[in-house]
Amino acid sequence: MLDSWKEISLYLHRSVMTCQRWEKQLDLPIHRLDGTPKARVFAYPDELDRWLKEKLHVAEAAGEPLVRTARTGRKRHLVAVAAASLLVLAGAAAWRFLLWAPLPAPAQVPSLAVLPFENRTGDPAWDVWKMALPDLIVIDLRQSKFLDVTKTSALFQAAGASAEAEKFSPEDLKKIAEKAKVDYAVTGSLVKSGGDVVIVALVQNARTGEVVGSPRSTYRTGKEIFTGVDELSRGVKIALNVKPREIRGDIDRPAARITTKSPQAFVFYSQAYRIQGKLKFEDSIAALQRAVALDPKFGLAYRLLSYSCMAVSRPDDAKKFGEIALSLADRLEERERCAFLDFYFSSEQVGRFDSRKCIQAYEDLRKNYPYDLMLTGLTSLYMGKEDYDKAVPILEQLILRHRNRQSVFRSLAACYRYLGFYEKSDKILGDYLKDHPLPAVPKTGIEMMDILGERWKLAVSRQQFDLAHQIIDQLVSAYPNLPSNLSRKGYTYFLQDDLVNAEKIYQRFADSLDPRSRMSGFLYLAVVSLSRGKVEEAKQRILKGIETAAGAKLEEEGPDVLAERNLHYFLAYLHRLSGRLPEALGEAELACRSNGKKGLFSLRSLHLKALIMADMNRFDEFERLAEEIKGFTEADRYPLALSGYPKLRRAYYHLLGHRELLKKNYPRAISYFWKALDLLSVLAAGSYDSDHAKYFYALAEAHERSGDSGSAFPMYEKIILPTVSREFSGDQYARSYYRMGLHYERMMTNMGTPADVQERRLKAVGYYRKFLELWKDADPIFPEVEDARQRLARLEAK
């Protein structure tokens, strides 16, 4: 804040008289404490900067004489005086830069919650401000880079009705602070003093009850309450030992600029905000409409209106109010603006989906608030796009402040795991568990499930299967009826190639009375069948799952539809594998049609459909589907496509490589397959395009057919890693062992010592045995089985 005409003139490099003239002629944004002409003036640097950029430049362009021009014919000695003046101004500018330069947000700052105030005026008309005043203070203080202020909604969610009590004892404050995880609490009262109303705030250490400050402000009418809150906010910062230079360099737009100038409009907003937090959206909408009727430029109210209308399925109104809020976005506090832009640009029904604009909003927020938990929305976007390297530095910063936030630790550990930094991932999880030991008898499943679930994924990635089973047994013991834990147990067996035990667990799902569990059970029983080479058995199991889906009432969107889509997809894959291309195409079309509006999850179905078209020599349709898949990487077409998903272009390049492979143009096929692999986040299993094994297998087969088995071998090796998703590629997984056996058998004829030849023979034997162990009862459609038996017999005879 600039506290006088002198400071304002220094900041603008103009005389006091020029600045006073600009106020009258060009609306220079000058404020007065009580609104009277003789009151002390003050101004905000960010408002002056904006004014300089906008109005002043416009006036200069129009030729208005803003500054008196020097007369010609001055004496030469005045040049020296002017030069000296420039040096003085340069020095003043340097000093101003040091004084007002933006300061970065520190990692550790005081955390606080603002609670309701008491009305001690004796006038019931002030009762509405008991809740509205703390809401206004919260909005104003949340601008600060040097405080961590809990939002009203988050406070109510953490502490419930106790956060809206009439009065608070020291013990009440301590309990609320513990639930909200804050260090300080702000409460206070409104009292009468003659004809004035005085706001007295008490800033207390919530754990000790010590009052560390009691800022106050005085005013006569409700209209002055906004400037009063501006003063209170400064007082709260002083009470919490925020340094003067930090206060000067903080973000602190006037409360009226980021809310409204109408006290009554804000009261309606406050009421709506608290009502909406209790999920009474229709009542919230009514109050908000009264607020915007009083102030049509109340951006914050329109932002909440859009959200509330969306919550009660009024998309047209949500879109209308969202567009108005977008036009008033500069009147929102920066964090509220980011939250709104994310809401607006991530919803097809409210705005035009564009995650690039969501990301830009978050990145803008990050510049000033690098420790704000809202940035987990940005890390989710980056992780969804498999840009884990971009998510890591954000999460590493968040962890410095939010040591109690399990979700931040878990996300960072996941990113490290995806990037292959297993030791770092293990350390992050260990650090959290060291400070937050898991209870012997868990109260809730969330924390234990998430942290142990991530430890299980890490153990699987490191092929530490004994540890993976221990972790799952711990979860199953604590939550025996939770299907996801049992499913993890089955998946661990599956990755170990212990198909007998995996099948036993999946059968329990298939025997369930719940349709969704039955569909999942039959799907994964079919996965086990394919892993054994039993294609026809897999088909029968899939058909039972489809029959279950037909007899159930499935929602139009949601996990049930995803389960049904997986069934059709896998049946199409099985039909193609057995050479029944018309049936495969029909099932692929069903898998594509069942995707509803959220079309990105149909990517793998479109991809499979394109492969089938190529097998049927229907290349015109193949090319059309390939271009459609390419569209996922370029356009803002689907909400879950995250507004252009560059790494999904791997599916497009895979199709182009397959086309060239069919034409026996092996160099070009290999080139395209490498392009696909360059876009593959190898360690990120289970993305939109499902199994990643197909990318390695395609490249390996292209090398193999070109006669370069040496280049094919490392690709086959990749497929058998547990970090490469292969649930629906059991045939490629098993055949990889067969191909690696062939490679070493061929190598036996190469030059080398007898010991080298014997080593290669033993490796070939090992791979053939593994292949036959998996496919000992495979369907007769696979000639590799009999070939492997004969080759193994010859090698063993030697």
Strand partners for 191: 120, 198
Average pLDDT over residues 438-448: 59
What is the helix (H) or strand (E) element at residue 650, kind and residue range?
helix 649-662
Identify the three-state secondary structure at position 724. Answer: coil
Q: Percentage of the chain with pLDDT > 90?
A: 60
Q: 241-280 as b/e, with b when 16 or more CB fall inside 10 Å? A: ebeeebbebbbbbbbbbbbbbbbbbbbbbbbbbbbbbeee
Compute the distance between CA of residue 123 and CA of residue 536 in angstroms, rounded to an integer.
Answer: 82
pLDDT at 616: 96
pLDDT at 141: 96
pLDDT at 648: 84
Q: Decide which of 238 and 681 is more confident.
A: 238
Identify the three-state secondary structure at position 552. Answer: coil
Average pLDDT over residues 462-469: 94
pLDDT band at 62 (very low <50, low <70, confident <90, very high): very low
pTM of structure: 0.82
What is the token pair recorded at 119?
Answer: 């009305």
pLDDT at 550: 86
Give the highest mean pLDDT range of 95-99, 402-406, 529-533.
529-533
Average pLDDT over residues 135-159: 93
* The one-letter amino acid at 700: A
In this structure, of 75-89, 414-428, 443-457, 524-538, the range with the lowest mean pLDDT score is: 75-89
pLDDT tens for 728-784 read 899 999 999 999 999 999 998 877 788 999 999 999 999 999 999 999 999 999 999
278, pLDDT greater than 60: yes
Average pLDDT over residues 357-378: 94
Q: What is the DSSP string of 7-74?
A: HHHHHHTS-HHHHHHHHHHH----EESSSSTTSPEEB-HHHHHHHIIIIIHHHHHTT---SPPPPTT-
Distances from the Cα of 79 to the Cα of 57, 67, 609, angstroms: 27, 19, 81
548, pLDDT greater than 80: yes
pLDDT at 337: 94
pLDDT at 431: 93
267, pLDDT greater than 50: yes
If phi over 0 gives left and psi between -120 and 50 gives alpha, with beta otherwise, what is residue 7?
Answer: alpha
Phi, psi dihedrals of residue 311, rounded to the nearest 5°: -70, -25
pLDDT at 414: 94
In this structure, of 18-27, 575-584, 715-724, the range with the lowest mean pLDDT score is: 18-27
Give the highest mean pLDDT range of 167-171, 593-597, 732-736.
732-736
Placement of tokens 């050479």 in the chain: 579
Give which of 181, 114, 175, 115 is closest to 142, Cα–Cα: 114
pLDDT at 143: 95
Q: How many CB atoms lie within 10 A of CB 766?
A: 14
pLDDT band at 223 (very low <50, low <70, confident <90, very high): confident
pLDDT at 704: 95
Compute the distance between CA of residue 446 and CA of residue 443 in angstroms, rounded to an integer.
Answer: 9
Distances from the Cα of 188 to the Cα of 134, 153, 158, 202, angstroms: 9, 20, 21, 5
pLDDT at 483: 85
Pairing label, strands 211-213, 216-219:
unpaired
702, pLDDT greater than 90: yes
pLDDT band at 87 (very low <50, low <70, confident <90, very high): low
pLDDT band at 186 (very low <50, low <70, confident <90, very high): very high
Compute the distance between CA of residue 110 and CA of residue 443 in angstroms, rounded to an integer.
Answer: 29
What is the helix (H) or strand (E) element at residue 700, kind and residue range?
helix 693-705
Q: Hey, what domains does the chain have and what are their CATH numbers?
A: 5-100 (no CATH), 111-251 (3.40.50.10070), 259-353 (1.25.40.10), 737-797 (no CATH)
59, pLDDT greater than 60: no
Identify the three-state secondary structure at position 683. Answer: coil
